[in-house]
Amino acid sequence: MTKLVAYVLAVVLLIACAPAIQATERATPDDTARFLAGLRPSPGSPLFALTKSAVWQRHAARFDSLFEQKDSDSLSRIRVFAAKEIPQTDRPLLYFFSGPDFLYANAFFADAPTYVLSGLEPAGEIPKMEELNPRALEYTLLNTERSLNSILNLSFFQTNDMRRQLSAGPVFGTLPILYVFLARAGKTISEAETIVLDQEGNVKQADAERKGADSAEAAQDGVRGVRIMFSDKNHSRQTLYYFSGDVSNEGLRKSGLLKFCDRLGQANAFIKSASYLLHRDRYADLRDFILKQSALILQDDSGIPISYFDPVKWELRPFGNYVGPIPLFRNRYQASLARLFQGRERKGIDFGIGYQWRRNTSNLLLAIKKVPIL
215-228 mean pLDDT: 70
Higher pLDDT, 330 or 16: 330
d(CA 94, CA 91): 10
Tens of pLDDT, residue by residue over 153-174, are 654 555 555 555 455 556 668 8
- Cβ partners under 8 Å of residue 26, min gap 6: 46, 128, 130
Are the beta carbons of 102 and 230 closer than 8 angstroms? no
Are the beta carbons of 274 and 303 closer than 8 angstroms? yes
52-76 mean pLDDT: 94
Tens of pLDDT, residue by residue over 231-281, are 999 999 999 999 999 999 999 999 999 999 999 999 999 999 999 999 999
Q: In 3D, which of 215, 217, 198, 195 has the Cα closest to residue 206?
A: 195
Question: Among 26-30, 209-213, 253-257, 336-340, which is the least confidently predicted range?
Answer: 209-213
Is residue 119 pLDDT above 70, yes or no? yes
Winning range, highest mean pLDDT, from 13-17, 99-103, 149-153: 99-103
Sheet holding 294-299, edge to edge: 203-205, 188-197, 223-232, 235-244, 114-119, 93-95, 267-271, 294-299, 363-369, 314-320
Q: What kind and span of H or E run contains 14?
A: helix 2-23
301-313 mean pLDDT: 97
Cross-strand bridge partners of residue 194: 226
Q: What kind and span of H or E run contains 116?
A: strand 114-119
> Model's pTM, two decimal places?
0.87
Tens of pLDDT, residue by residue over 75-85, are 999 999 999 99
Q: What is the pLDDT of residue 367?
A: 98
d(CA 239, CA 189): 10
Q: Where are the domains of the chain?
A: 2-291
Are the beta carbons of 225 and 197 closer than 8 angstroms? yes
Are the beta carbons of 193 and 126 closer than 8 angstroms? yes
Q: Measuring CA to CA, how many Å separate 4 from each of 13, 14, 18, 125, 233?
A: 14, 15, 21, 47, 56
Q: What is the pLDDT of residue 23?
A: 42
Beta strands 93-95 and 223-232: pairing type? unpaired
